[in-house]
A and B are shown apart, each in its own frame.
Chain A
Amino acid sequence: MFLDVENLNVTFKTRRGLVSAVRDVSFTVEKGETLGIVGESGSGKSVSSYAIMRILDRNGRIANGRVSFDGMDLTAFSSREMRELRGREISMVFQNPRAALNPIRKVGHQIEDVLRRHARATKYTARKEAIKALEAVRISDPEKRYDAYPFELSGGMCQRIVIAIALACDPRLLIADEPTTGLDVTTQKVVMDLLAELTTRRGMSSILITHDLGLAAEYCDRIVVMKDGEIVEQGKPDALFARPANVYTRRLISATPRPGAEIGDLVDPPVASPPRPELGAPLLQVKKLCKVFGHGDDAVTAVDDISFDIREGETLGLVGESGCGKSTTSSMIMRLMDPTSGEILLDGKPMTDVPAAKFAREPRRASLQMVFQDATDSINPRFTARQAIADPIRRLTDESPKGRVEELATQVGLPLTLLDRFPHQLSGGQKARVGIARALASRPKLLILDEPTAALDVSIQAVVLNLLAELRASLGVSYLFVSHDLHVVRLLCDRIIVMRKGRIVEEGVTASIMDNPTDDYTKTLLAATPMAPSAERDGADTAMQVERAIAE
């Protein structure tokens, strides 16, 4: 056993007393092994790793338990001894890479600091060693990047720098805490592959902390599942996915979108998937839509000549990574923004005759509504749920708010007692329901769903997706589902369009895009999205394990 965590208990002192964040957690990591710690928010997965590194917040402490690393008892180490250890024997990589770097110090110097601290380089050799570290993480043009500041680099490059800092002194254990959250899917794959290769080549052990079960399954030798500060199950990915022993694990696995699963299969126990509505005449027609920001040399074309249709009752998926123009497209269709050129037709009538600034008073405002990504941001903090849902009813319809609000709440499964709460008193799933209820208040014909489940835990996401499917079946409303997650899109959408740099690169029926993509970018996107194992042994997984065995 290389790393042995025994009965770890971590408590935090809060205003409401002592809170137990990690309870009796025990796991091990063998030499050269990659362990995945999987859990939703609040499961204690990050806190456990902070406890191993002894970098807990001021008000947190290890109440109980032992952490031994290569025979040394880390829990008994002094601060000084831990500081010697960190960076040299055990390193950590965090999420949000640009924020993880000192913004006013050159990245090369930041690597040097670590090298010199652990006596791996002197003042004279530091620069050379730092450049070697940059080369190890495959940064292009390392000599030039050495002098760069974090704000000059992309998210993916910043993460490579963070990895370079972590691996500079050849540690034997690497802990990666959600290292790819916030990164584009394609960048995510690159970073994970880099980490996997480096740890294998150097014979390092590593711990991958993530909420993404698919990611853990693809890159880890063993998985530990945590919930509410406790471990509920451990095991190898294939065994875990094929025969989960614990109820929670089963729920998590069900909720992870995977090949062969329908929407109804995401919840545990599985339900029948709601039927898909019949398709009617074209409801929304977008023709040659363009949006250019700025003028002259600084002009940026966010949306470049795109055209597509959505029929009544249809759900169209709009897929792309950040910067592809999907948000701008949504804004224009919602008439929050005016296009530079092109047409948007609803029921055959042009929508662009009234400018965005005056659209609020248009009767057609009621037909187009949106569900936002981050429900925390999209509900007025000073409104109760009831007031938030009542606002569009009052302004866009002639109905009396009271009855209608309660009708909508029931439709989205929001308990009526929660209606008088403020957003900060509601959970993520509850806020999502409020957002959906509000969007449906004016009985829209078209609903744009802008990454509605991206900020939610995967089990809540499953519930919300089912809700969306039920609503579409009962109300016959069309959806434009915007997302970066192809697996989620596959579950809900009839057709998919893929956007990149403002243009549509591919479009078609869901099944054909997912199984037989023609465009290179679509293929890259598909390959990059981590795949949860299905019941049968996945060929790709086996190949990875063989590779690892060869490297040892």
Chain B
Amino acid sequence: MALAENTNADKGQRGFGGHVLYVLSENPITAVAFGLFALIVIVAILGPLITPYDPLESNAARALQPPNADHWFGTDSVGRDVFSRVIIATRLDMMISVAAVALSFVVGSIVGSIAGYWGGWMDAVTGRFVDTIMAFPLFVLAMGIVAAMGNTVENIIYATAIINLPFYARVARAEVRIRREAGFAQAARLAGNTDIQVLALHIFPNALPPMMVQISLNMGWAILNAAGLSFIGLGVRPPTAEWGIMVAEGANFVVSGEWWLAFFPGLALMIAVFAFNLLGDGLRDIVDPRQRT
């Protein structure tokens, strides 16, 4: 299309907040994702304050009640309120995935950026390291790590962080490599930026948008991972409320028709992962300045 000398001369500049609102209004699905995400964060933060019952309080008389007015999600085999447990579990699952993803993002981007920018032996060594992790089926590796290091929540976080590291390292490396010889990187060197300044101030911020998508998708996957590990008995122990372990406990009752024990935690899990996946695309639109009109 025609390159007029005054492109977009008439449109005003938007600030950052205005840009966020613009993206949300253009893309209702992103807005929904943001809404869900906000809801999940609020539930995680408020946690114990909004549970109608004590999540750990058992009451044999009310065991295995289907959803009703008193117990919106029903009760489990020892009479605990499923709704309260699902609410409380939000906090734990969020904490695990946020910690794991943050850890792998920080370590992975640093490792990947260094490998992508300087190449040479640094690239070879880190490449070997990342490839070795990727040589395992990742969930299986997480199982092995938790089994080796001990069955605790901290180790779930470390294991999840380790298996997610390769994604960030690879994306960071690829994005940095593409931009390493770009005109603006060379111009930055000409302007007196040292190599580290070029990498940190010029290249990496431009590599951020694709990594944002990665982060959000990874959050979803990290939650699934953590839940999966607890489903097979690793990490979290009863009577802790966590979505994966609740599904595991509830699975035994599905064949006899008591569906609500497993259904609601599983549904919560699905919604959380869904929200994070949709969020990824929205985040990219916000962070990428090319989307700013």
Touch between A and B in complex, CB under 8 Å? yes
Interface residues of A (CB under 8 A from B): 19, 21, 40-43, 228, 334, 336, 357, 360-361, 365-366, 368-370, 372-375, 377-383, 388, 391-392, 395-396, 420-422, 424-430, 435, 438-439, 441-442, 457
Within 8 A of A (CB), among B1-49: 1-8, 13
B173 to chain A, nearest CB (A): 20
Alpha-carbon gap, A19 to B1, bound state (A)? 9
Residues of the B chain whose Cβ atoms lie less than 8 Å from the Cβ of A391: 188, 191, 193
Residues of the A chain whose Cβ atoms lie less than 8 Å from the Cβ of B106: none
Q: Are A228 and B2 in contact (CB under 8 A)?
A: yes
21 of the cross-chain contacts (CB-CB < 8 Å) are A19-B1, A42-B3, A336-B189, A365-B192, A368-B190, A370-B190, A373-B183, A375-B183, A377-B184, A378-B187, A379-B183, A380-B206, A381-B290, A396-B191, A396-B192, A420-B13, A424-B289, A425-B7, A427-B3, A429-B5, A457-B3
Q: Are B182 and A378 in contact (CB under 8 A)?
A: yes
* Contact for A382 among B7, B182, B194, B289, CB less than 8 A: B289
Given contacts A377-B182, A382-B289, A422-B289, contact A360 B3 (CB under 8 A): no
Residues of the B chain whose Cβ atoms lie less than 8 Å from the Cβ of A373: 183
Residues of the A chain whose Cβ atoms lie less than 8 Å from the Cβ of B3: 40-42, 427-428, 457
Alpha-carbon gap, A334 to B190, bound state (A)? 8
Contacts beyond the supplied A365-B192, A366-B192, A377-B184: 6 A-B pairs with Cβ under 8 Å: A40-B3, A42-B2, A380-B206, A391-B188, A421-B8, A442-B191
Query: Interface centre among A40, A41, A377, A429, by most B CB within 10 Å?
Result: A377
Alpha-carbon gap, A457 to B191, bound state (A)? 28
B10 to chain A, nearest CB (A): 12
Residues of the B chain whose Cβ atoms lie less than 8 Å from the Cβ of A370: 186-187, 190
B62 at the A interface (CB under 8 A) = no
Query: Interface centre among B188, B191, B194, B197, by most A CB within 10 Å?
Result: B191
Alpha-carbon gap, A430 to B6, bound state (A)? 9
Nearest B-chain residue to A435, judged by Cβ: B187
B205 at the A interface (CB under 8 A) = yes
A498 to chain B, nearest CB (A): 25
Pairs of residues from A and B, 10 with the lowest C-beta to C-beta distance, nearest first? A378-B183, A395-B192, A42-B2, A392-B191, A377-B183, A380-B184, A372-B183, A391-B191, A396-B192, A360-B194
Residues of the A chain whose Cβ atoms lie less than 8 Å from the Cβ of B54: none
Residues of the B chain whose Cβ atoms lie less than 8 Å from the Cβ of A395: 191-193
B195 at the A interface (CB under 8 A) = yes
Query: Interface centre among A360, A369, A395, by most B CB within 10 Å?
Result: A360
Nearest B-chain residue to A19, judged by Cβ: B1
B292 at the A interface (CB under 8 A) = yes
Nearest B-chain residue to A366, judged by Cβ: B192
Given contacts A420-B13, A427-B5, contact A369 B190 (CB under 8 A): yes
B22 to chain A, nearest CB (A): 13
Nearest A-chain residue to B6, judged by Cβ: A427
Q: Are A427 and B4 in contact (CB under 8 A)?
A: yes
Q: Are A42 and B1 in contact (CB under 8 A)?
A: yes
Alpha-carbon gap, A429 to B7, bound state (A)? 11
B136 to chain A, nearest CB (A): 32
A72 to chain B, nearest CB (A): 31
Q: Are A438 and B290 in contact (CB under 8 A)?
A: no
Residues of the A chain whose Cβ atoms lie less than 8 Å from the Cβ of B194: 360-361
Residues of the B chain whose Cβ atoms lie less than 8 Å from the Cβ of A442: 191
Given contacts A19-B1, A381-B206, contact A374 B190 (CB under 8 A): no
Main secondary structure, interface of A, reads: mixed
Alpha-carbon gap, A97 to B195, bound state (A)? 37
Q: Are A357 and B187 in contact (CB under 8 A)?
A: no
Residues of the B chain whose Cβ atoms lie less than 8 Å from the Cβ of A369: 190
B71 at the A interface (CB under 8 A) = no
Residues of the B chain whose Cβ atoms lie less than 8 Å from the Cβ of A381: 184, 206, 289-290
Alpha-carbon gap, A191 to B208, bound state (A)? 43
Nearest B-chain residue to A44, judged by Cβ: B2
Query: Interface centre among A380, A424, A435, A442, by most B CB within 10 Å?
Result: A380
Alpha-carbon gap, A426 to B292, bound state (A)? 13
B25 to chain A, nearest CB (A): 14
B202 at the A interface (CB under 8 A) = yes
Nearest A-chain residue to B3, judged by Cβ: A427
Alpha-carbon gap, A21 to B2, bound state (A)? 9
B258 to chain A, nearest CB (A): 50
Residues of the B chain whose Cβ atoms lie less than 8 Å from the Cβ of A357: 195
* Contact for B202 among A42, A374, A375, A380, CB less than 8 A: A380
Residues of the A chain whose Cβ atoms lie less than 8 Å from the Cβ of B186: 336, 370, 372, 378
Residues of the A chain whose Cβ atoms lie less than 8 Å from the Cβ of B6: 427
Nearest B-chain residue to A420, judged by Cβ: B13
Residues of the B chain whose Cβ atoms lie less than 8 Å from the Cβ of A21: 1
Alpha-carbon gap, A78 to B292, bound state (A)? 41
Q: Are A392 and B192 in contact (CB under 8 A)?
A: yes
Q: Are A422 and B292 in contact (CB under 8 A)?
A: yes
Residues of the B chain whose Cβ atoms lie less than 8 Å from the Cβ of A428: 3
Query: Interface centre among B8, B190, B193, B194, by most A CB within 10 Å?
Result: B190
Q: Are A374 and B206 in contact (CB under 8 A)?
A: no
* Contact for A360 among B4, B8, B192, B293, CB less than 8 A: B192
Alpha-carbon gap, A361 to B289, bound state (A)? 30
Nearest B-chain residue to A12, judged by Cβ: B1
A479 to chain B, nearest CB (A): 16
Alpha-carbon gap, A381 to B202, bound state (A)? 9
Nearest B-chain residue to A15, judged by Cβ: B26
Given contacts A357-B195, A377-B182, A426-B7, contact A336 B289 (CB under 8 A): no
A387 to chain B, nearest CB (A): 11
A50 to chain B, nearest CB (A): 14
Alpha-carbon gap, A366 to B192, bound state (A)? 8
Alpha-carbon gap, A430 to B182, bound state (A)? 19
A100 to chain B, nearest CB (A): 23
A429 to chain B, nearest CB (A): 6
B206 to chain A, nearest CB (A): 6
Q: Are B205 and A438 in contact (CB under 8 A)?
A: no
Q: Are B191 and A382 in contact (CB under 8 A)?
A: no
Residues of the B chain whose Cβ atoms lie less than 8 Å from the Cβ of A383: 184
A466 to chain B, nearest CB (A): 15
Within 8 A of A (CB), among B56-108: none
Alpha-carbon gap, A380 to B195, bound state (A)? 16
Residues of the A chain whose Cβ atoms lie less than 8 Å from the Cβ of B191: 391-392, 395-396, 438, 441-442
Alpha-carbon gap, A442 to B189, bound state (A)? 13
Nearest B-chain residue to A377, judged by Cβ: B183
